């Protein structure tokens, strides 16, 4: 399997692809050093997947690497890591004790590749492959090949020690299990359940990046179920954990509580953008705080509360302002689809021209498919969106503030109302020229110099 996989991926050449890695390895060996493909690229090749990148492990020291590759970037001198033409090349090493839950206090450079793989996180990520030969077997010191065959995520050595060394490895275990459809080996899962609170010591940025990968690399529902089982969910997203057990009106949500509804939506994601995936995860985050029972179960104000909670979460996790704004927009507008059949053309067109409207539309589709199943409003909006080119949704303005001043109107708060009324009429095809627009302003707001 590995041989045929190599043949497939060697059929193309890109800057950070296998041919580059093979060339770098060949140069190292020409200088008398070992060179092995290591880690995720070997794992992916064994699984028949195209690696996202290629890493090389070698017994050459950092100073020796820089002599061979003078233009290499030294990205981790103390850990023996350089980047050569986009390929990470690392010196074999063993790690000393960890003091901060992320970095070893010191490292020892090694000449034996076995010592290098024994410090790694999971068995499936500790495989070595000779890049010079298509037929050479995978070198496996930790049982990673057997675990791939058995579809198991297993920590190397003592799992508690592995997670104490780097707390983020607990989230990585979840991500790999979800991404590959593997089970987490019982003692590895037990260690996560014991140590899960350690995740709060990890920087928000690192947690954010792992969460985005869980949401976008495939099987996000499985990922969040594992976050829940492991105890990590309540540590990093207590607001999402609060969705569990929050009942919904069965006439609209026969699928169950808010948590179940959200999981079903996550399961329906296909190659989502991070913002769409986050919008799906958080669109109902305001429901637990607004639950009440009147004539039926109601969540009055859950959208507004959800916006505030989501902003707090995304700010806490150091998302960019642009990503936060888009996710908040998805939450703020997801209930508007209920009213699209009654909307005036101007209001509907303003909705359709929202930034990245495709994400709004897909969130609505998933919301319906994961609850009552009715897609009439979705199909209506989708067809309107597809048949409305940009110039129809956002036509050139017929009137500006300068035009109003030139017509004799004094600048003030009424200007915004005048221009909005003109745009409404234009979007509804009631007016078509500047003259039509001025006539509309005069008939609606009065002639210049009169109270508006």
pLDDT tens for 188-220 read 999 999 999 999 999 999 999 999 999 999 999
Residues 303 and 423 in one domain: no
Lowest mean pLDDT: which of 75-84, 135-144, 281-290, 300-309? 75-84
Q: Could you tell me the pLDDT band of residue 12, with boundaries at 50, 70 and 90?
A: very low
Q: Please tell me whether residues 280 and 370 are part of one structural domain.
A: yes
Compute the mean pLDDT over every residue in the chain, rounded to the nearest whole number.
92
Any residues with CB less than 8 A from the CB of 8 and at least 6 apart, and which?
A: none
C-alpha–C-alpha distance, residues 419 and 140, integer Å: 70
Pairing of strands 81-84, 73-76: antiparallel
In this prediction the pTM is 0.89
Residue 386 lies in a domain: yes
Indicate if 7 and 124 belong to the same structural domain: yes
Separation CA 448–CA 295 (nearest Å): 52
Number of C-alpha atoms within 13 angstroms, CB side, residue 200?
Answer: 9
Q: Is the pLDDT of residue 44 over 70?
A: yes
Comparing 452 with 398, the larger pLDDT belongs to 398
> Between β-strands 183-184 and 36-38, what pairing exists: parallel, antiparallel or unpaired?
unpaired
CA atoms within 13 A on the CB side of 86: 13
The pair of structure tokens assigned to 161 is 């020690």
Q: Are residues 215 and 143 in the same domain?
A: no
Q: What is the pLDDT of residue 133?
A: 72
CATH code: domain of residue 36: 3.30.460.10
Say if residue 145 is in the same domain as residue 200. Answer: no
Do 254 and 195 belong to one domain? no
Task: Point out the least confidently predicted range of 22-36, 91-105, 138-152, 291-305.
Answer: 91-105
Burial class (CB in 10 A: 0-12, 13-18, 19+), 4: exposed
Q: Quick one: 187 and 248 in the same domain? A: no
Q: Quick one: pLDDT band at residue 290, thresholds 50, 70, 90?
A: very high
Can you give the pLDDT at residue 16? 52
Task: Using a pLDDT cut of 70, give the percent of the chain over it.
Answer: 92
Domain hosting 403: range is 395-445
Residue 346 near residue 423, CB atoms below 8 Å? yes
Residue 254, both tokens: 């026969």
Q: How many angstroms separate the CA atoms of 248 and 258, rounded?
A: 7
Q: Which pairs count as long-range contacts for 304-307, CB under 8 Å and 24+ apart, including other chains?
A: 306/282, 306/331, 307/331, 307/332
pLDDT of 98 above 80: no
- If one compares 11 and 258, the residue with the highest pLDDT of the two is 258
168 and 130 fall within a common domain = no
- Strand duo 292-293 + 297-298: pairing: antiparallel
- Structural domain contains residue 452: no
pLDDT for residue 19 = 85
CATH number assigned to the domain comprising residue 179: 1.10.110.30
pLDDT at 330 over 50: yes
Tokens of 105: 């206090």
Residue 102's pLDDT is: 65
What pLDDT score was predicted for residue 103? 67
**What does the alpha-carbon distance between residue 154 and residue 147 come to, in Å, rounded to a whole number?**
7
Output the pLDDT for position 353. Answer: 96
Chain position carrying tokens 């050479």: 136
Of the candidates 48, 43, 57, 51, the residue with the CA atom closest to the CA atom of residue 3: 48
Residue 384: its pLDDT value, please?
A: 96
Number of neighbours of residue 197 by Cβ within 10 angstroms: 12
- Clarify whether residues 434 and 325 are in a common domain: no
The 3-class secondary structure across the chain, one letter per residue, is: CHHHHHHHHCCCCCCCCHHHHHHHHHHHHHCCCCCEEECHHHHHHHCCCCCCCCEEEECCCHHHHHHHCCCCEEEEHHHCEEEECCEEEEECEEECCECCCCCECCEEECCCHHHHHCCCCEHHHCEEECCCCCCCCCEECCCHHHHHHHCEECECCCHHHHHHHCCCHHHHHHHHHHHHCCEECHHHHHHHHHHHHHHHHCCHHHHHHHHHHHHHCCCHHHHHHHHHHHCHHHHHCHHHHCCCCCCCCCCCCCCCCHHHHHHHHHHCCCCCCHHHHHHHHHCCCCCCCCCEECCCEECCCHHHHHHHHHHHHHHHCCCCHHHHHHHHHHHHHCCHHHHHHHCCHHHHHHHHCCCCHHHHHHHHHHHHHCCCCCCHHHHHHHHHHHCCCHHHHCCCCCCCHHHHHHCCCCCCCHHHHHHHHHHHHHHCCCCCCHHHHHHHHHHHHCCCCCCC
pLDDT for the residue 155: 98
Residues 259 and 144 in one domain: no
Question: Considering the domain boundaries, does residue 451 fall inside one?
Answer: no
Q: Any idea which residue has 């195209």 for tokens?
A: 50
Among 232, 250, 279, residue at a domain's last position: 232
| Tokens describing residue 196 | 């899960």
Query: Where does a domain end: 150, 166, 181?
Result: 150
**What is the count of structural domains for the chain?**
4
Size (the chain), residues? 452
**179 and 93 within one domain:** no
Same-domain status, 23 and 120: yes
């Amino acid at each position: 399997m590995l041989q045929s996989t190599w043949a497939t991926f060697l059929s193309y050449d890109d800057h950070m692809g296998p041919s580059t890695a093979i060339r770098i390895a060949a140069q190292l060996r020409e200088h008398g050093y070992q060179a092995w493909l290591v880690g995720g690229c070997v794992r992916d090749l064994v699984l028949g997947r195209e690696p996202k990148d290629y890493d090389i492990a070698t017994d050459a020291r950092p100073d020796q690497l820089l002599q061979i590759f003078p233009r290499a970037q030294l990205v981790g001198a103390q850990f023996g890591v350089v980047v050569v033409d986009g390929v990470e090349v690392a010196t074999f090493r063993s790690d000393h004790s960890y003091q901060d839950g992320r970095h070893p206090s010191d490292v020892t450079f090694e000449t034996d590749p076995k010592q290098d793989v024994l410090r790694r996180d999971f068995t499936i990520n500790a495989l070595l492959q000779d890049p010079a030969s298509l037929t050479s077997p995978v070198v496996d010191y930790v049982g990673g090949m057997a675990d791939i065959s058995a579809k198991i995520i297993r920590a190397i050595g003592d799992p508690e020690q592995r997670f104490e060394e780097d707390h983020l490895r607990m989230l990585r275990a979840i991500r790999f299990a979800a991404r590959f459809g593997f089970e987490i080996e019982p003692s590895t899962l037990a260690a996560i359940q014991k140590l899960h609170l350690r995740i709060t010591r990890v920087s928000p940025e690192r947690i954010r990046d792992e969460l985005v990968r869980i949401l976008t690399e495939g099987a996000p529902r499985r990922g969040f179920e594992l976050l829940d089982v492991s105890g990590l969910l309540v540590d990093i997203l207590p607001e999402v954990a609060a969705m569990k057990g929050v009942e919904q009106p069965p006439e609209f949500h026969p699928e169950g509580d808010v948590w179940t509804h959200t999981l079903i939506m996550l399961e329906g994601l296909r190659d989502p953008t991070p913002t769409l995936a986050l919008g799906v995860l958080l669109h109902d985050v305001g429901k637990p705080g607004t639950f009440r029972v009147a004539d039926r179960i109601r969540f009055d104000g859950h959208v507004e509360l959800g916006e505030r909670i989501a902003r707090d979460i995304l700010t806490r996790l150091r998302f960019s302002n642009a990503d936060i704004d888009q996710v908040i927009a998805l939450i703020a507008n997801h209930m508007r689809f209920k009213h699209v059949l009654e909307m005036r053309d101007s209001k509907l067109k303003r909705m359709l021209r929202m930034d990245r409207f495709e994400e709004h539309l897909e969130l609505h589709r998933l919301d319906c498919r994961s609850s009552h199943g009715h897609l009439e409003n979705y199909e209506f909006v989708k067809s309107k969106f597809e048949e409305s080119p940009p110039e129809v949704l956002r036509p050139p303005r017929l009137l500006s503030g300068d035009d109003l001043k030139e017509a004799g109107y004094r600048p003030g708060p009424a200007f915004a109302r005048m221009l909005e009324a003109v745009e409404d009429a234009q979007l509804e095809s009631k007016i078509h020229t500047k003259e039509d627009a001025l006539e509309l302003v005069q008939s609606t707001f009065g002639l210049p110099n009169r109270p508006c």
